[in-house]
Structure 1
Amino acid sequence: MPDMTKQEKSWVLYDVANSAFVLIIITTIMPIFFKDVASRGADSAVSTANWAFANSFASLVLALLAPVIGAVADYENLKKKFLVFFLGLGILATLALTTVSEGEWLRCLLIFVFARIGFAGANIFYDAFLVDITVKERMNRISTAGYAYGYIGSVIPFLMVIGLILLGTPPGASAGISVSAARAAFVIVALWWLLFSVPLLKNVRQKYYMPPAKHPVRDSFARLAGTFKEIRKYRQVFLFLMAYFLYIDGVDTIITMSAAYGRDIGLGVTALILAILMIQIVAFPFALLYGNLADRFSEKTMLFVGIAVYSFITLVSFFLPDLPTKEMKVIVFWILAFFVASSLGGIQALSRSFFGRLIPAERSAEFFGFYNIFGKFAAITGPFLMGVISHITGHSRYGVLSLLILFIAGGIILSKVGRENQ
C-alpha cells in the first residue's frame, strides 16, 4: 500500500481485521461446526434451514437499528464510539462461542446472532468512514483495496485454523471439525479482529459531521423523517439502494450458504475448506482489478459484470447435484469457487464506493445506515427464501435457483441509476 495515506492504510487494515470473521465464522468453520457438531443428530435440511433463519434474524435486528444509529452517529465524534461498541460486542460474542458443546444448536445460534450483529453493526460505521479518509476520486481504489487486502490477510488465521483441524485428525481419517479445534478457531478470530482494528481506532478521525445538537436522538429521528420526505432529492441514491438490495441479496446468500449447501450435496470438509481458501487468494488480485477497471469503464459497468458472473454461478449450482460422481461435483464446485472469487470483492467494494460518491459526506453515517439496512434486509430475504424452499422441496438446490430472480431484477434497476449527483 505504498501510495496510501496513514488514514487510508488504517482504514484498509480494518478489512483485514473483520475478514477473518467473514471467512471463519460466517462462511466456513462455523457453519460446518454448526451442522456437524452443534446440530449432531438433526436432519440435514432442517439444520441448513435453522442456519439460514439465524442469519436472517441477525440481519433483521440490525436492519431495524441501522438508520437510527447511523443518523445519531453523524454528530461530531460519535461515529467512532458506535463502531467501538459494536466491535466489542462482536469480539465478545465470538469468544462466547467457545462455550458451545455438541448438540447445543439453539445456544450456538443465539450466541452467533449476537456476534453477527456486532460484526455488521461495526461495518456500518467502518463503511461510513470511507468519505472521511479519502477523496471521491480515490474511493474506487481504496474501497477495492480494503476488500482485496481483507481477503489475502484473512488467509493467515484461516491457515492457522486448518492446521489445528489437521493436527486433531487421526492418520488416515477424513478431516473433520472437533469441538476443541472449533473453540481454538473462535479465539483466533477474536484476537485477529481486535489486533488489526487498532490502527483504525488510533488513526482515523471523523472529518465530516453534523453540527452539535441539544437533543441528538430526537433530532436524528426528525432528520430521518425529512430524508424520506425529500426522497425525490435523493432519487438516484434510493434507486441504487433498490438495485443493491436485490443483487447483494443473492451475493450474500451464496456467501452465507455455500458451505452448508456443499455439505448437502456430499462434499467433504477438506474440499470445502480448500475451495474457500482458494477464493480468498484469487479474490485479492481480482478485487484490485475491479477497482482499476472501474476507473476506466465506470463502477456501474463493472457491477453489471459482477451480476452476470453470479447469475452464471447460480444456474450451474442448481445442476450441481445431478452430476454422476462425487469427483465431478468437487471439480465443478472448485470452478464455481473460482468464479465467486473473480467478482466477490469487486461487486461489494464498488457498490460501497459508488454509493459513497452519491451521498452527502456530512451525513455519511445516516446514509450508510440506509445502505446497511437495505443490505441487511437483503441478507434476511435470501437465506430465508432458500430456507423455506429447502423445507418445502426437501432439497436446497431449488432455493439456490430462486436467487437468479434477484440478480436479474437488481440488474434491471441498476440500469436506471444515473450519476447526476456525483
Structure 2
Amino acid sequence: MSFEKGSKSVLNAWAFYDWANSVYALVITSSIFPLFYGALFRLAHKDGIEVGGEVIKSESIISYVTAVGFLIVAFISPILSGIADYLGNKKFFLKLFCGIGSVSCMLLYFFSLEHAFLGLLTYMFALIGYWGSLVFYNSYLPDIALESQQDKISAKGYSLGYIGSVILLLINLFMVLKYDIFGFENELAAMRVSFLLVGFWWLGFAQVAYRKLPDFSNKKKLIKSVVFSGFKELRKVWQQLQTKHKLKKYLLAFFVYSMGVQTVMIAAAYFGEKEIDWGSDSKRTFGLITTILLIQLIAVAGAVLTARASKKFGNIPTLIGINVFWLVLCSAVYFVKTPNEFYIVAAFVGLVMGGIQSLSRSTYSKLLPQTEDTTSYFSFYDVAEKIGIVIGMFMYGFVADQTGRVQNAILFLIVFFLIGIVILTFANREKRTI
C-alpha cells in the first residue's frame, strides 16, 4: 500500500484510533470498572480475596494485577517490536493487541467474585491489549507525519480520544443511573453491559484506522534469531543514546515524571471512591463519573493549549511548566476531602493531563534520529513508561500502607515531578532546542 508522508487522510485515520481505544482508558481504567469492582466487594461484605489462607485487600490485589500486566507489556514489547521492524508488520501487531484488548473488555461482563482470579486475568489481558497496541500505534507517528505536523496531529489524536470516550461514558452513565428503563435488574447489570459496549466500540471504530494506515510488511521469513532481535535492537538504541545526550536526558525525565502522572491517572478513581465523603452510593457513582467527565472535557482544551504553548515557548520549557503544575496539584490533593474540592482539583488535572501526554509523545518523536527502526525507539519510550507505572504504583501503595493515609502517598508523588523538572532543565541546555 503506497502512501504519501504527511497525507491528511492517513494522519486523520491514525488519530481516529485514539477515538476507538480511549474508551478503555476512560470506562475500564478510570470510571465504570473501579465503581463496579468496589461495589462487588461492598455488596458481598468482603474486604478482599483470600490467597494462601490470608486475605489480600481488594485495592491491593487490583494494584498487583495492574503492575504484573504492565511488566508483561514492558517485557514483550522489545520482542514484538524487533519482529515488527524485521518484517515491517506493525499493522498486524496493532490489530492483534487491539483484538486481545477489545475482546477481553467484552469478557469482563462475566466478572464475579466466585471466579475472581479468572476475572482479574481477563482484566489484565485487557490492559495488555490496550497498552500493547499503543507501542505500534505510537511508532507510526514519525513514519506518516512530517516533523512540523507531529505536535498538531498528536494533540488531535488525544482530543478525538477524549471526545469519543466521553460520548460512550455519557451513554453508560445514563444506562447505569436509569437501569430500570433499559430493563436491567440493578446498576451492576448495567455496568456489565457497559464493558460489552467498550469492546464493540474499540474493535469497531479501529477498522477506520486500519483502512488507511499503511502496511510496511515485506516478504521476509521469520527466523529464530529475530525473536530476540528486539533486545539486540534496544541495546543498539541504548548505545546510540550515549551520543544523543538531549534525547537520553529527555527519556530519563519522561521515565521519572511519568511515574507520577500515570499513578495519579490510575489511582484517581480509587482515591475518590475511598477518601471523598459522597454521602451515599448513588452520589458516589454520579459524583465520580461526573468528575471523570469533567477531566476528559477539559483535557481536550488542555491538549490544544499545550500544543500552542509548545509552539511559542518550545516543547521542553512547556513540559517543565506542566510538571511544576502537577507538583502543585499533588500538594493540593493532600487537603482534599469534600466533593466540591475534588471537582476543582479534577478540573486542573484535566487541564494538564492531556497536555503532558500528547506533548511528551511528540517531543520524543522530534528528538529521534533519522532511522527506519522507529518501533525500537518507541519501544524504549513504552518500556520507560510501563516500568515507571510499576514503580509509581508500588511506591503509592507502599507509602499508603506504611503511613495509613492515601493522602501521604499522593504527596510523595511530588518527588517524581521535582526530579523530572530538574532533568528536563538539564536537557533543555543541550543543543537542538525544540
Q: Is the pair's TM-score, using the shorter chain for normalization, greater than 0.5?
A: yes
Distance 1:211 1:238 in 2: 32
Aligned counterparts, 1:236-385, within 5 A: 236-265=246-275, 266-267=277-278, 268-321=284-337, 329-360=338-369, 361-385=371-395
Distance 2:228 2:23 in 1: 37
**1:223 Cα deviation (Å)?**
2.8
Per-residue Cα deviation, 1:154-182 (whole angstroms, up to 9, x for no partner): 11110111011111279xxxxx9833112
Residue 36 (structure 1) aligned to one of 39, 43, 59? 39
**1:239 Cα deviation (Å)?**
1.7
Given that residues 249 and 382 in structure 1 are in contact (C-alpha distance below 8 angstroms), is that contact kept between their aligned partners in structure 2? yes
Q: Does 1:48 align with 2:59?
A: yes
Given that residues 14 and 197 in structure 1 are in contact (C-alpha distance below 8 angstroms), is that contact kept between their aligned partners in structure 2? yes
Given that residues 79 and 228 in structure 2 are in contact (C-alpha distance below 8 angstroms), is that contact kept between their aligned partners in structure 1? no
Distance 1:177 1:313 in 2: 36
**Structure 1: gaps spanning 5 or more residues:** 171-175, 322-328
Distance 1:60 1:12 in 2: 27
Given that residues 209 and 363 in structure 1 are in contact (C-alpha distance below 8 angstroms), is that contact kept between their aligned partners in structure 2? no
Residue 188 (structure 1) aligned to one of 189, 194, 197? 197
Match of 1:390 in 2: 400
Q: Does 1:6 align with 2:9?
A: yes
Given that residues 313 and 340 in structure 1 are in contact (C-alpha distance below 8 angstroms), is that contact kept between their aligned partners in structure 2? yes
**1:412 Cα deviation (Å)?**
0.8
Per-residue Cα deviation, 1:249-283 (whole angstroms, up to 9, x for no partner): 11111111111101111332211110111111111
What is the number of residues matched between the two proteins?
408
Match of 2:107 in 1: 96
Match of 2:51 in 1: none
Distance 2:123 2:254 in 1: 25
Aligned counterparts, 1:137-176, within 5 A: 137-168=148-179
Aligned counterparts, 1:67-146, within 5 A: 67-102=78-113, 104-146=115-157
Distance 2:422 2:254 in 1: 11
Distance 1:365 1:284 in 2: 27
Distance 1:351 1:177 in 2: 41
Distance 2:218 2:85 in 1: 5
Given that residues 53 and 387 in structure 1 are in contact (C-alpha distance below 8 angstroms), is that contact kept between their aligned partners in structure 2? no
Match of 2:210 in 1: 201
1:177/1:155 CA distance change after superposition, 3 Å: farther
Q: Does 1:63 align with 2:74?
A: yes
Per-residue Cα deviation, 1:336-386 (whole angstroms, up to 9, x for no partner): 111011111110001000000111341111011110000001111111111
Aligned AA (1:280): Q
**1:208 Cα deviation (Å)?**
11
Supply the RMSD in Å over aligned alpha carbons: 2.5
**Structure 2: gaps spanning 5 or more residues:** 1-5, 49-55, 279-283
Match of 2:123, SS state, is helix
Distance 1:158 1:108 in 2: 22
Aligned AA (1:347): I
Distance 1:106 1:67 in 2: 28
Structure with the larger RCO, 1 or 2 (CA within 8 Å, 6+ apart): 1
Given that residues 55 and 379 in structure 1 are in contact (C-alpha distance below 8 angstroms), is that contact kept between their aligned partners in structure 2? no
Aligned AA (1:25): I
Between 195-204 and 3-12, report the one with greater CA deviation.
3-12
Match of 1:205, SS state, is coil
Given that residues 30 and 269 in structure 2 are in contact (C-alpha distance below 8 angstroms), is that contact kept between their aligned partners in structure 1? yes
**1:55 Cα deviation (Å)?**
1.6
Distance 2:347 2:130 in 1: 26
Match of 1:320, SS state, is coil
1:304/1:72 CA distance change after superposition, 3 Å: same
TM-score by length of 2: 0.88
Distance 2:24 2:431 in 1: 34
Match of 1:415 in 2: 425
Given that residues 66 and 124 in structure 2 are in contact (C-alpha distance below 8 angstroms), is that contact kept between their aligned partners in structure 1? yes
1:22/1:30 CA distance change after superposition, 3 Å: same
Residue 20 (structure 1) aligned to one of 23, 44, 48? 23
